[in-house]
Structure 1
């Protein structure tokens, strides 16, 4: 006798209980989205999300509502987008198959028309053909020509409709692709976009022998700020940093991303350490120079500061090791007092700042 459904139910109860425990111990909020994130974490079916959660909790001790929203958008809603993309791909395939069927019908019709013309031409060549038979042949040719013309017009109209349909599907697919790579709150790239760009830049750097640099940014005391003024104001801070990044990063091919709760990254292909550090300093000083105002009351909330770490790819670096070294510089900047930029020449060996 099978106990499959009972085992599945029991496992769900265990995962649910574990999810509540994790939400109680590590989460500042108890929302349906928080439960969904922790349930998925407890199930172990999304290792990339689990790695992101471990990184956030190791650094901050908890997950903020902003963290939950980001994780949900990236790892749960992202799967919804994948399903939608599959559905649109199926529609596109069906549309192409319909076009191919119409083309095959047209080809068969044209071939039959050609065979008919050949047979009729042989009849005309026959010297014994009577005037009446000749009239029948001409009538048949006219009728067949009309049929082929009508078929071609139908195919042409169908092709125009399909072209419009395929163009619409293409635009929808592109929008879905961009949505799957975009952080909904800031409009920057999300973690998936960041990781993809970093891997691509490191591969290109290795192949072409050109430098690639990475800047990682963390908002100072963001949790304390969030707890004091609320998540809506915290979101305003995140958007502020994103705006400043867009204003001060103009390198071609640069990728700007929010890849964690209050963590941002800038991937800079074709950029050496000195230039990358200058970009980081421009971002830092611009953020520090902005005064944050609470929109609902006009109350001044003071200054926001950020800490930044900068590293440039070495010969033996891959995307992971480059990110680790930039992170080490960031943590060194935090320990040195925050509101500063440190690159790998200033932060000391990796073991000293990890």
Structure 2
């Protein structure tokens, strides 16, 4: 058999991908390989620029970096292709409907002209019984044609309605998929940012009601240790555990639960004051701490997982960035204070006063 140049090129790209993943990546996962393979193939210049920027700044790509690159340039590209395909189907369906409507309009116009001509013929000539029979026969035939065309158009419209409804459902499913973190089933960074921005945009109305939005940010304590000691599959199990507890302890229908970084989670709580938001955050913290992590393959106990949480409540002059920055500041303060704790802005200010 003659050598396949595409196959040989794929092996070369794969080898180079493994080398770069070994030298510049903190993890060796299928997603990391996909990112590096796309990088060496050179088909995504914007992603290559992002990779170069991150490796220049940090010397490596973290798990969070890989997740972000994959979501943006690989999953995002797939979503764009799927949306383009559905848009093309929708356009073709609409064009078909328009063509059928045009045919129906022409048929109706011709029918009207025929009736008018026959009416004129009857009115202006001495109509014999034979001629009258011919006119009636012509009218009946034309009416049948128009009726048949209308039935065809009606059936086509019903069919198109079903097709368009199916496309609408597929588009909605694709939209939801584009906002979902595949590992945990929570919202992804895009979902988190959109929800946070919308909540902040409603600040004026919320402030009038005395119920501003609050934001909780969560970080898994010593997450790198789980990955280093037990591998990335166990690390994924930890991430799913936190997501499960978040769902169990947050009952508000309008809350947004998201994983927006490697081991970072966020909860956007519209119309929730500081005291209520802190209570929710503390329930999540206690819920996570109360679970024991067990290695599925062996049943081995891996101990407890803990999280640190920061809580910030919206102010009149806030935007999405400033609210997130204050919540992050509370999270970092919780880390510095010993981890496995929840701190809100008031508590952080009190710590500063004591210091």
Both proteins in one fold, TM over 0.5: yes
* More displaced 10-residue stretch of structure 1: 302-311 or 128-137: 128-137
Q: Report the secondary structure of 1:24's partner residue.
A: helix
Residues 301-331 of structure 1: CA distance to partner in whole angstroms, max 9, x if unpaired?
1100000000011111100111111011101
Residues 16-64 of structure 1: CA distance to partner in whole angstroms, max 9, x if unpaired?
99996686245233752241576699x872599779969x969xx8513
Structure 2 partner of 1:155: 153
Q: Mind listing any 5+ residue stretches in structure 2 that lack a counterpart?
A: 1-14
- How many aligned positions are there? 333
Q: How many angstroms apart in 1 are the aligned matches of 2:350 and 2:49? A: 28
Question: If the length of structure 1 is used for normalisation, what is the TM-score?
Answer: 0.85
Structure 2 partner of 1:164: 162
Q: How many angstroms apart in 1 are the aligned matches of 2:233 and 2:124? A: 91
Residues 116-156 of structure 1: CA distance to partner in whole angstroms, max 9, x if unpaired?
11221232334611111111101100110111111111111
Distance 1:128 1:62, change over 3 A: closer
Distance 1:248 1:48, change over 3 A: farther
* More displaced 10-residue stretch of structure 1: 288-297 or 30-39: 30-39
Structure 2 partner of 1:6: none
Structure 2 partner of 1:281: 282
Structure 1 partner of 2:66: 68
Structure 1 segment 293-304 matched on structure 2, within 5 A? 293-304=294-305
Q: Report the secondary structure of 2:202's partner residue.
A: helix
Structure 1 partner of 2:8: none
Distance 1:320 1:53, change over 3 A: farther
Q: How many angstroms apart in 1 are the aligned matches of 2:38 and 2:122? A: 80
Structure 2 partner of 1:344: 345
Question: If the length of structure 2 is used for normalisation, what is the TM-score?
Answer: 0.85
Deviation at 1:86, TM superposition (A): 1.5
Structure 1 partner of 2:198: 200
Among 76, 86, 89, the residue aligned to 1:88: 86
Q: How many angstroms apart in 1 are the aligned matches of 2:349 and 2:17? A: 41
Q: How many angstroms apart in 1 are the aligned matches of 2:97 and 2:350? A: 62
Q: Mind listing any 5+ residue stretches in structure 1 that lack a counterpart?
A: 1-15
Q: How many angstroms apart in 2 are the aligned matches of 1:320 and 1:26? A: 29
Structure 2 partner of 1:115: 113
Contact conserved, 1:259 with 1:265, CA < 8 A, in 2?
yes
Structure 2 partner of 1:27: 26
Contact conserved, 1:49 with 1:75, CA < 8 A, in 2?
no
